[in-house]
Every structure is written in C-alpha cells, then in structure tokens.
Amino acid sequence: MEENKNILKQWVISAINNRSSKELKEIFETIPNIDIAEAIADVEDPKQLLYIFRVVGSEYSAEFFAELSPEQQEIIINAFSDKELIALISDSYADDIVDTIEEMPANIVNRVLKACPKDLRGDVNRLLNYKENTAGSIMTTEFIEMKDSMSVKEAIETIRTKGKDAETVYTIFVRDNKRTLVGTVELSDLIFAKEDELLGEIMDKDFVSCNVNDDQEDVAKKFKRYDLTAMAVVNSENKIVGIITIDDVVDIMEQEVSEDIAHMAAITDMEDPYLKTPTLKLVLKCVPWIIALMILQVFTTLVLSRFETVIAQFAILAVFTPLIMDAGGNSGGQTTTMIVRSLSLDEFSRKDYGKVIWKELRVASIIAVIVALFSFGWLMFEMSVGIVDTESIKALGRDSIYADMAFIAMLVSSTLFVTMIISRLVGASLPFLAKLIKLDPAVMCGPITTTVVDIVSLCTYFIMWVFVIAPQLGILVNL
C-alpha cells in the first residue's frame, strides 16, 4: 500500500517534470482520483499542481480538486487565472465548493464566489447558512425534480439533457402542481416502465424524507434503516430544497462513531486526524477531563480517609482496594458500553428501562456468584504462594494460617459480590438517566459509574470488615 503510493508519486511527478501530458492523462484514466491526490499530498509547488489541471480534462479536474488538501486547494486557487477558476468551479457541485471554502481566508472565499455562475452562487450562499450538523448543511442542491404529470419518455429525455449537473440521476423526486414532494422514482423504474406511463403512476409513495433542520445523525439512521441511496430534504412546507446521497452519509456515520468513542474515553471530539491536530489542541481535548475526573474522585478520597485508622491498624486491607475498585470499574464500564451502544442504535427506548434492569439483575447475579467464587480461590492462591505477604494476616490469630487467609479472602470476595451487582445496575441506569435529562449518554457515563461504584464498594468493604469480620475475630477496631 505504502509502496504503491510511492511508485504512483514518482510516476506523477516524472510525468509533470517531463511535461508528458499523454502519460498524465493515462494516469487519470486508469487510477482513481483519491489515490492520485493522496500520492501527491505533499506536493505544494504551484507550477506542478497547475500543470496537472491544465493537462487533465474537465471530467477529472473538479473531482480531483475536491480530494486535495485545503493547503493545496488554496495554492491552486491563488495560482489560477480568473478564467481557469470559473472553468473549475462550473464543473463542481455546490456542496463540494462549500466544503472547500468553509475554512479558507475571506479573500479566497470572495474570489470563488465571484467565479460561480449566478445560480450556483445562490446555492453556495444558501448552503453556507445552514447550521452545522443539520441535514441542510450536508445536502446538495443539484437534484432532479419532475412533475407527476410527466411521462416516462419525457422523464428520460429530461435526464439526458439536465442529468449531468445533478449529483444523482438514480432517484428522481416527483412533485405535484403545488410543488409538494409526493413520491420518488428510481431510474431503474423508468427503464422498466412503458414510455407513455406517467411518473405519478409508477412512483413510490412510501418514500422517506427529512427536514432541513434534522440532525445529521438522524439522517444517517434513516439511510441505514430504509437502505436508501438518496433522500429528499424538505422545508417546513414539504417542498424539496435539496438531497442527501449515501456517500455523504457514510462519512457522517464515521464522524458520529468517532464522536461516541471519544466521549466514552473522556476526550473532547476527535474530528481531525491525530497527526494533523496541533499539540496544544490535543492537550485541550484531554486535560480538562483528567482534571474533572480527579475532582470527581473527591468522594473516594473522602471514604478512604475516613477509614485511615482502620488501614493503619491492618494495612493489608489497602492492598486489595485497587483490585475491588478496578473490578467494579471494568464491570460497570462493560454495562455502560453495551447500553450506550444499544441506545444509540435505537435498539430500545426509555420505556424499556424496566426490561433492561430486570435483565441486568439476572446477568449481574450470575456474574457476581462466579466472580465471588473465583476471587475467593484466586486470593487464597495469591496468599498461599506469597504474592501477598501473609505476615500481617497471622495477626488474625486463627489456629491455622489458612483459616486466617480464608477470612480475608471471604471479606474481599463478598465485597466483590456486592460490587458486581451494584456496578451493573448503576452502569445500566446512568445512560437512561442521561437520556432522560437530554444529555449524550456517551459523555461521562463511564467515569461517573466508576466513581459511584468505587464509593459503594469501598464502603461495603470497610463496613463489612469493621462490623462483621473483625468482631467475629475478636479484633477491636478503632475508628
């Protein structure tokens, strides 16, 4: 892969340097644009870049331009004559133009807008105004709309003449006399239909559309649910204002997933590629969460501090606290992850909370029994082979050292029993709570679960020692 890229790069560069337009054309005919763009990603010489655009035909140049990096796009726009810029832009789709100029300096934006033909400029301006992450912000305005009274023959004729400017000709949107969207026709339906049938007769009436203000995540879900390749975007009067195609949605899905994953790991977004994100920006994505979680830990500190004298008296208790806390954290994390994922895939709604908790209660009970039994055995093993120093355990003063160990192992394993149940119930409940108060369940649910579980399990642990195990052993605990 890496090697192919280098070979391709050498090939393109040598074609440019030898001024071999034939070779360059051949490259563009046989290799996808994005591969070429990636191979020359670090070429920033305006002359080399310009040569490509002067040689390669317009059927490639607009699409190829969209694949270049913002830096390269800026270099090219600056180097282009007005005439060249107009030619490039006339071949581009409005949404690609918006993507290009959105983060460019004002003088470039102005040059590009001036170069737009009048109708395209209107589209670009409108697209620039939709709020980020809405259907409006990702839609394109180049689509094919036809009246329901049109015949199949006329429709195919219209596609032949106007289709080249549309982002897709595979879905045709059908409107009635009042310009209301009433159906869709697939291009394949046109091919299969008789020439004199009307669009109104053959159209699908069970089509799905979205509103300009819908969240892009909901749009992506609809595409997935209904296996769509294109969807109409309508305004509040049910008039079509744009369309979204499946290739845009694939990008959105990836973006939304990255967001979810980032939030679960307590990172603020990961929208940019890692190596391209400036160091300070990376720091800012991470450090506030580290500090917030540290502050959240105040409760754990408070609990441990209250039992400091107990620890001083019998320090081996402190040896097992990380084991308990981590097991609780891992278990709660598993549950939270499952529930957050299911909620975000719309597998269930808030109303199913009862069902989920009932299920968790059964899962948690079984896990608790297994973990408690295992940990009892595992701790006995750790103490027997000396991984845990048993010197202080002898202080318990049972007849045999194994009886002493069994008391400690019992303390830890019964705490783990409680911890497993609490961690799963809390881990399953918090995402629902977040949803109830309209927060993104992925944010903070993990860390908060950990904190709650830490507190409950530490209290269980020390209270069980102070009030159950120690009295049984005749040990006087000073609190």
Task: Using the minimum distance from each CB to a copy of itself, give the nearer residue, 2 or 237.
Answer: 2
Smallest distance from the beta carbon of 261 to a copy of itself, in angstroms? 6
Instruction: List Cβ neighbours of 366 (8 Å cut-off, separation of 6 or more).
Output: none
DSSP 165: G
Task: Using the minimum distance from each CB to a copy of itself, give the nearer residue, 116 or 445.
Answer: 445
Q: Residue 292 is encoded by which pair of tokens?
A: 């917030």
282 touches a copy of itself (CB under 8 A): yes
Q: Residue 275 is encoded by which pair of tokens?
A: 């190596």
Tell me the C-alpha distance between 11 and 412, whole Å: 66
Interface positions, 13-42, toward a copy of itself (CB under 8 A): 29-32, 34
Q: Which of 56, 42, 53 minimizes the C-alpha distance to 77?
A: 53
Interface positions, 454-473, toward a copy of itself (CB under 8 A): 454
From residue 219 to residue 238, what is the string marking binding to a copy of itself with x (rule CB under 8 A)?
A: ----xxxxx-x---------
Smallest distance from the beta carbon of 12 to a copy of itself, in angstroms? 14
Identified binder of a copy of itself from the candidate list 76, 174, 240, 339, rule CB under 8 A: 339
From residue 262 to residue 281, what is the string marking binding to a copy of itself with x (rule CB under 8 A)?
A: x-xxxx--x--xxx---xx-
Smallest distance from the beta carbon of 249 to a copy of itself, in angstroms? 8
436 touches a copy of itself (CB under 8 A): no
Smallest distance from the beta carbon of 317 to a copy of itself, in angstroms? 8
Candidates 124-132, 311-319, 402-410, 465-473 — which segment interacts with a copy of itself by CB under 8 A?
A: 311-319
Identified binder of a copy of itself from the candidate list 450, 457, 460, 462, rule CB under 8 A: 450
Tell me the C-alpha distance between 385 and 188, whole Å: 73
Q: Which of 308, 291, 223, 217 minimizes the C-alpha distance to 260?
A: 217
Candidates 10-18, 71-79, 113-121, 242-250 — which segment interacts with a copy of itself by CB under 8 A?
A: 242-250
| Number of residues counted as binding a copy of itself (CB under 8 A) | 121
DSSP-assigned letters across all residues of 195-240 = TT-BHHHHSBSS--EEETTSBHHHHHHHHHHHT-SEEEEE-TTS-E
Task: Using the minimum distance from each CB to a copy of itself, give the nearer residue, 11 or 170.
Answer: 170
Identified binder of a copy of itself from the candidate list 22, 83, 351, 438, rule CB under 8 A: 351
Interface positions, 51-90, toward a copy of itself (CB under 8 A): none
Instruction: Spell out the SS3 assignment of 34-98.
Output: HHHHHHCCCCCCHHHHHHHHHHCCHHHHHHHHHHCCHHHHHHHHHHCCHHHHHHHHHCCCHHHHH
444 touches a copy of itself (CB under 8 A): no
Instruction: List Cβ neighbours of 361 (8 Å cut-off, separation of 6 or more).
Output: 421, 425
106 touches a copy of itself (CB under 8 A): no
315 touches a copy of itself (CB under 8 A): yes
Identified binder of a copy of itself from the candidate list 19, 45, 291, 394, rule CB under 8 A: 291
Smallest distance from the beta carbon of 469 to a copy of itself, in angstroms? 18
Residue length, the chain?
479
Residue 219 φ then ψ, to 5°: -60, -45
312 touches a copy of itself (CB under 8 A): yes
Residue 439 φ then ψ, to 5°: -100, 160
Task: Using the minimum distance from each CB to a copy of itself, give the nearer residue, 30 or 472.
Answer: 30
Q: Which of 321, 301, 324, 293 minimizes the C-alpha distance to 445?
A: 293
Interface positions, 366-425, toward a copy of itself (CB under 8 A): 366-367, 370-371, 374-375, 378, 382, 387-389, 392, 420
Tell me the C-alpha distance between 425 and 354, whole Å: 11
Task: Using the minimum distance from each CB to a copy of itself, give the nearer residue, 345 or 436.
Answer: 345
Stretch (H or E) spanning 140: none
Identified binder of a copy of itself from the candidate list 242, 431, 441, 447, rule CB under 8 A: 447
- The total of other beta-carbon atoms located within 10 Å of residue 129's CB is 9
Task: Using the minimum distance from each CB to a copy of itself, give the nearer residue, 214 or 382.
Answer: 382
Stretch (H or E) spanning 184: strand 181-186
* 3-state secondary structure (DSSP) of residue 444: coil
Candidates 69-77, 84-92, 183-191, 236-244 — which segment interacts with a copy of itself by CB under 8 A?
A: 183-191
Smallest distance from the beta carbon of 282 to a copy of itself, in angstroms? 5
